[in-house]
Structure 1
Amino acid sequence: MKELSKKYLVFVIGLYFLAAGVVLIVRSALGTTPISSVNYVLSLNSSLSLGTCTFIINTLLIIGQFWLIRNNKSKRDIIEILLQLPFSFIFSVFIDLNMLLTNDLHPSNYGMSIALLLVGCLVQSIGVVLEIKPRVAMMSAEGFVKYASRNCNKEFGKFKVYFDVTLVTSAVILSLILSQRVEGVREGSIIAACITGYLVSFLNQKIMTQKTLHKLRSIIIR
């Protein structure tokens, strides 16, 4: 039980880093990540916060997963999907908290924007590794891709690319409808999409190994 608690704590810490990375990318003023693109566009064109929009979209993805498994579900699938709801709420709170903490963070030039974007990608990648290493839960976007790819008999990685492209395209269309111009999707979105995977692979294989993670858990809870 103690070991499981450590894993969940590492997972929540990962969510915080993930949220902080997303916010830093947003603060770079060069767009946002594909997974946050629709959420960000909605927040720009409504009175809702980015965290609230994130929770709404995540909830829709959770509902979508239940629809995907309607003809082929197990108790494990149901528990796995239900677990996403509280963690989606925590993640959304972390996003709004970091938006508040970085309220005065405005890059003064394009070089500073790029630097902030790259830092955001690194922080986000650390969050992704801390999220996946404990293997205790998954976020709604990953869960949706998992069950959709299973339904369509497609490879997870390839379906993830289709999913990201769909989100970015939807964000662009939504922005054009709501504001008659493209907001929230810029070159930073492409940069983040291209380098985050490589950063996650490097950190996962070379830096944040299972041995390192075990030491981290030991430090967190003694």
Structure 2
Amino acid sequence: MSASKHWERRIPIYLIGMFLMTIGVNLSVLSGIGVSPIDTLPYIASLISQKSLGLCTTLVFSVYILLQIVILRRRFQWKNLLQIVLSIIFGWFVSLSGALTALLPQHPSYPIQFIYMLCSIVFLGSGIFLYVTADIMSMPADGVALALAEVSGKPMSSCKIIFDCTVVVLTVILSVTQLHNISGVREGTLIAAFGVGMCIRFWEKRMTQPLKAFLFGK
């Protein structure tokens, strides 16, 4: 079945997946016990450079696109340069979902913070699974994980865990060397680095075939 068909099914699932991801991002920020791995590098870059988080996100995502080119080489599809457009849509979704999560209690007790963090993992993992399965275009960070999966032959979920852990380690190094503290990375970040990949794997095993049948079936 051509991947160019059934846009009326794939686009809504794709956008729902992206929106679920942004809810996860905002919940991780709201938890106060570490931002999600997907946001650690832009967050620390904004602190170091004193530039806006939006600008730093664009710059970091641009590096991720370059990294995909390096990994895939001739297999890189140049249409994926349009990932920068997705970054803009993602930013708008972050603002929209941020207005929703703002309705939740702010500065809660630690048990509630931990619940926020766990919920952020579920939203991020579920969102990634949906939009990746829709097979339209990956966000830059997940594009790196997909590129690693294509080259290595390992499941995307495993490559996602490896990539997220690498990003967290790099963030800690930059934070300590440039800010002389650890900012944005706490226990929630480390748990999410493993948890998001595990959530993706959970859905891969149970929902990949039914979802693909819905998205690409007759």
TM-score interval, normalised by the smaller of the two chains: 0.7 to 0.9
On the 8 A contact 2:65/2:144 being kept in 1, the answer is: yes
Q: Given the superposition, is the C-alpha separation of residues 211 and 78 from structure 1 closer, same or farther in structure 2, using an over 3 Å criterion?
A: closer
One-letter identity of the residue aligned with 2:144:
F
TM-score, normalisation: structure 1: 0.77
Q: Give the match's secondary structure for 1:63.
A: helix
Mapping of 1:208-219 within 5 angstroms? Answer: 210=210, 214=214
Q: Aligned partners of 2:35, 2:87: CA distance in 1, in Å?
A: 18
Q: Given the superposition, is the C-alpha separation of residues 203 and 24 from structure 1 closer, same or farther in structure 2, using an over 3 Å criterion?
A: same
TM-score, normalisation: structure 2: 0.79
Shift of 1:30: 0.7
Matched, 1:123 2:123: yes
Work out which of the residue numbers 1, 11, 15 in structure 2 matches 1:12: 15
Gaps of 5+ in 2: none
Shift of 1:114: 0.4
One-letter identity of the residue aligned with 2:25:
V
Mapping of 1:140-179 within 5 angstroms? Answer: 140-148=140-148, 155=154, 159-179=159-179
Shift of 1:84: 2.0
1:84-137 Cα distance to aligned partner (Å, 9 max, x none): 222222112222443455457523211110011111112212211211221222
One-letter identity of the residue aligned with 1:136:
I
Structure 2 partner of 1:24: 27
Q: Aligned partners of 2:212, 2:145: CA distance in 1, in Å?
A: 29
Matched, 1:48 2:47: no
Q: Aligned partners of 1:174, 1:213: CA distance in 2, in Å?
A: 44
Structure 2 partner of 1:33: 36
Q: Given the superposition, is the C-alpha separation of residues 19 and 113 from structure 1 closer, same or farther in structure 2, using an over 3 Å criterion?
A: same
Q: Given the superposition, is the C-alpha separation of residues 167 and 69 from structure 1 closer, same or farther in structure 2, using an over 3 Å criterion?
A: same
Q: Give the match's secondary structure for 1:107.
A: coil
On the 8 A contact 1:54/1:92 being kept in 2, the answer is: no
Considering only aligned residues, what root-mean-square deviation do their CA atoms show, in Å?
Answer: 3.0
Structure 2 partner of 1:218: none
Q: How many residues in Structure 1 have an aligned counterpart in Structure 2?
A: 209
1:30-66 Cα distance to aligned partner (Å, 9 max, x none): 11222321122223452413x4432321122113323
One-letter identity of the residue aligned with 2:52:
L
Shift of 1:211: 5.3
1:145-193 Cα distance to aligned partner (Å, 9 max, x none): 3435656x57465654443232111111222234221011100012212
Matched, 1:135 2:139: no
Q: Aligned partners of 1:149, 1:210: CA distance in 2, in Å?
A: 22
Q: Give the match's secondary structure for 1:41.
A: helix
Gaps of 5+ in 1: 216-222
